[in-house]
Structure 1
């Protein structure tokens, strides 16, 4: 039986004559799809192979989640590469030899669904965070920034979904965080008194059935500036001009910006800097929203970095994600339309080591904070800067300007089409969890560690480019889907539930979580994979997924210096004590 099946057969994961094993397949993917993958290995430090030998994978032999793509193997192997890069940093900066790391593949797959698993005060009232009993905490520390009410009604939520077009092709419509432009593009009202799921999607079904997909694409992308894509097959994406323009990149792209006045360096030391918190004292500016880019900066915070997230009062956001993705971050407001506040931002960047941006391509350019402008701002200081940008489609090719989300990347690269086909229908279905978001986050941590190591040995500054499509390309080409017998087995064990193209994530996620609880609770949802994380800010703990990378015998301690919180809670300044809970 083959270990895994990719769409083009290039992964190198061939038959091994043994029954399928998730940990064993992960180890093969780790070695073949990452360490020996030419598109990945060219960016890796010379010590990568040696430092990877201490990484060990364990877990249940059989897959648990009824999705045909090998999500557990993907996230587990990426976490293995992150641990490898941490080991290299320990060796170079702290003169500590690589330590054994254990990654449990059952635990690791919870990483891509962590936004749906946290519970506030697990031993207390045992009521949802949005309940009246906890509204006071929510309003104080997680103010609602859904400024356009994108998720307020089933009808608005249905603006983000896959629909069949007049020409028989499928189009992933996306309402982003403001459904109005998407509705305007279809000539639909902004509100509709629908109450059921079926009623809410019907107006969109009717409208898209009258429009060819080739007409819908420029209408969404160019005229109304909304995310949206034709749902391509994996082969269609790879042979497209855009797919070819980005085919030379895998997971992250890094570019050196040499500067003779910026010699090799690490970052200013603080008392806590050491192998237990390897990034302690590293200052990171976070200009991100939603999941992928925030997962990058959360990953740096887990390693000890000091992260200052900057948003603005007039910028809409997905508040429901903040309890999961704002751990380790101070959150402050700056209105970049104001020159005085732009000057404050410039001052913050001049003290930072890393700047991460995840807004639509070109947005930060309007305010003087493009990748090149940040490099220019910092070129006169002694310490180089790492400037990171993340988008959906990739930074080359004719679609690079488009905005996008996890569902859009899945649909664009053929991931959604293969999930729908696995369930017996020749149609795309979004594969339930924001896997490409969270895995892009891990790829971003790896890429930034790569840049930090290069700055430590060679000096200068670095540009790091991330993209949801970079990850999705790797998923298709190097990870692949389960062999059919393995897929049929896990699908059978979970009731062979069939989802259709018009079932959006608001529909599928609750049903998948119930399936996991009913059929795989003892494997996937083990207590040992969770921790009660204290929140000094809220005065109540969170029960949430514990860090995936486990140093069983030290020295690395993965945790967060500050509690999670929502937008605008803190002052826009670096605190004197980088381990302090609150600025204000």
Structure 2
């Protein structure tokens, strides 16, 4: 039940939705949500004198389409990383910040990080729109969206049941999935609309349950667009709800390992995580965001990619900031051995593989606990996936769009737009991806702090669906239709529909922001940091600064990226060593 101070109305956007009765300006509401999150996170401080150091500022009114308070939830989580950073500074004998400031509008821009910046003076949204990425970055996409039919293989579709929509996902390799559905992958679709219509002609002949079982049987991605109520009442929804949103699990069953103090402070780098060694083995957005945030706090992050795995080109420009990257194919014994040699001295391992995929390579959680006992130094093992660590869907493949659909977020977003026939629409940005990465980074920082205080190893898990379900909770609340309408009028968003890919929705949001924010989005804005002569064709690279701002007492510990992004698999594996 919502508290008396925060009252909601049920079912405005369908069963299981909870809409605020009155509007609270975004920074003030975010402060409330921060306090809720802090109280609900095991291991997070409840000291009011510490919590009171956190301040929120920004636009009073929402700046994203729809009723979901994704920006406030993300801003609250960013503030929590600032609080834990302060605790780590204290552990290291460094001055703590007396205030931690998070701008909610900056947070909204951060959610759009994957396309938010400049290269060679051109904004990244235009680079993607005009399909110029291949002239700037190495091509890892393998033509995943070079035809309309491939592009529309990731979209929400009507089903035989007029009340239920279904999300399919081509997983960046759509042809086998489309063929399994009996769709001619060489069909002459002239544009995206024709491609969507062709796939819809198939999905309309199938019930949601038939589409679901087809994907389960063939191992492809998909999800019914549940209402929040139906998801929460499902067995998978109940399994996920049994775990805290920020899920940091000590591993007391393992052989004990001693407390591991943070390394002595270097005068050259007083950021909280300086000297912390991170191996990141992830793809796309959520996993790389974990490493991206840790690197801003000073961690030495080595990212592992394999060139045979498809990734999205534009993200090399933003999500690799502060990292070094190498190629390893762990199917090759020599590459697996090289990875394990890096892990001998690592503090954190980040992985985004499906459950039970890594133990066969000796890279499961239990394997790390054995290695921790052997070296007498605990690990922080960070995993992210779609559905969580247990429950009937836990081993299923999943992406942001799958999580948006399963959790009820797409259902609520569609209902807020007043579309016909219960049409569902993705939230407008890769919200669940970015926020899942943020949860993973926060959990990793908490685990490192606890390793220094208590010893042992820790498992941190972050889940895409968990992010969405948390934002739909009654204590968080949703914006009313009146507020959603005011936001629409202010930014004049273009229509958003079930067919639209997250790229198209990102373009729509960017266009609205440019109309309203103007100079704040220019390359010269203080929100951005530039790196001259990047490795991307020697052009200047400009990216969004970290969200958290510490005050002058901890100025030298301010989160920042000190090196520009580099491409995937950029350096020779033999040349990359730990910095300290």
SS in structure 2 of the partner of residue 379 of structure 1: helix
Correspondence for 2:33: 29
Deviation larger for 510-519 or 464-473 = 510-519
Asked if structure 1 preserves the Cα contact closer than 8 Å seen for 2:493 and 2:508, the reply is no
Asked if structure 1 preserves the Cα contact closer than 8 Å seen for 2:236 and 2:393, the reply is yes
Correspondence for 2:447: 451
Structure 1 position 119, deviation (Å): 1.1
Structure 1 position 527, deviation (Å): 2.1
Structure 1 position 132, deviation (Å): 9.9
Cα separation, partners in 2 of 1:122 and 1:496, compared to 1, 3 Å: closer
Asked if structure 1 preserves the Cα contact closer than 8 Å seen for 2:17 and 2:472, the reply is no
Correspondence for 1:565: 566
Asked if structure 2 preserves the Cα contact closer than 8 Å seen for 1:264 and 1:456, the reply is yes
- 1:463 equivalent in alignment to 2:464: no
> Structure 1 residue aligned with 2:147, among 117, 142, 153?
153
Q: State the superposition RMSD in angstroms.
A: 3.0
Cα separation, partners in 2 of 1:514 and 1:428, compared to 1, 3 Å: same
Q: TM-score, normalised by structure 2?
A: 0.90
> Structure 1 residue aligned with 2:231, among 229, 237, 244?
237
Structure 1 position 524, deviation (Å): 7.0
Asked if structure 2 preserves the Cα contact closer than 8 Å seen for 1:301 and 1:560, the reply is yes
Q: How do 1:315-394 and structure 2 match up within 5 A?
A: 315-394=309-388
**What is the CA–CA distance in structure 2 between the aligned matches of 1:5 and 1:520, rounded to whole Å?**
31
Correspondence for 1:480: 477
- 1:77 equivalent in alignment to 2:72: no
Asked if structure 2 preserves the Cα contact closer than 8 Å seen for 1:23 and 1:61, the reply is yes
Structure 1 position 564, deviation (Å): 1.0
- 1:121 equivalent in alignment to 2:120: yes
**What is the CA–CA distance in structure 2 between the aligned matches of 1:124 and 1:184, rounded to whole Å?**
37
Cα separation, partners in 2 of 1:407 and 1:95, compared to 1, 3 Å: same
Correspondence for 2:294: 300
Correspondence for 1:44: 44
**What is the CA–CA distance in structure 1 between the aligned matches of 2:396 and 2:214, rounded to whole Å?**
12
Count of matched residue positions in the alignment of Structure 1 and Structure 2: 565
Correspondence for 1:527: 525
Per-residue CA deviation, residues 253-298 of structure 1 (Å, 9 max, x unaligned), is 2221245652111344473576x31111111010100101110011
**What is the CA–CA distance in structure 2 between the aligned matches of 1:498 and 1:382, rounded to whole Å?**
57
Deviation larger for 325-334 or 521-530 = 521-530
Structure 1: tracts of 5 or more residues without a match? 580-584
Asked if structure 2 preserves the Cα contact closer than 8 Å seen for 1:162 and 1:504, the reply is no
Correspondence for 1:508: 505
Correspondence for 1:582: none
Q: How do 1:430-449 and structure 2 match up within 5 A?
A: 430-449=426-445
Correspondence for 2:414: 420
**What is the CA–CA distance in structure 1 between the aligned matches of 2:459 and 2:439, rounded to whole Å?**
14
Asked if structure 1 preserves the Cα contact closer than 8 Å seen for 2:19 and 2:477, the reply is no
**What is the CA–CA distance in structure 1 between the aligned matches of 2:574 and 2:530, rounded to whole Å?**
30
Deviation larger for 60-69 or 211-220 = 60-69
Per-residue CA deviation, residues 164-198 of structure 1 (Å, 9 max, x unaligned), is 11123211000011102320221113333322221
**What is the CA–CA distance in structure 1 between the aligned matches of 2:124 and 2:32, rounded to whole Å?**
45
Q: How do 1:195-234 and structure 2 match up within 5 A?
A: 195-220=190-215, 222-234=216-228
Deviation larger for 89-98 or 381-390 = 89-98
**What is the CA–CA distance in structure 2 between the aligned matches of 1:6 and 1:458, rounded to whole Å?**
44
Q: TM-score, normalised by structure 1?
A: 0.89
> Structure 2 residue aligned with 1:194, among 165, 175, 189?
189
**What is the CA–CA distance in structure 2 between the aligned matches of 1:116 and 1:4, rounded to whole Å?**
36
Deviation larger for 439-448 or 86-95 = 86-95
**What is the CA–CA distance in structure 1 between the aligned matches of 2:484 and 2:331, rounded to whole Å?**
51
Cα separation, partners in 2 of 1:356 and 1:211, compared to 1, 3 Å: same
SS in structure 2 of the partner of residue 388 of structure 1: strand
Structure 1 position 390, deviation (Å): 0.6
Deviation larger for 406-415 or 252-261 = 252-261
Cα separation, partners in 2 of 1:126 and 1:199, compared to 1, 3 Å: closer
SS in structure 1 of the partner of residue 565 of structure 2: coil
Asked if structure 2 preserves the Cα contact closer than 8 Å seen for 1:332 and 1:572, the reply is yes
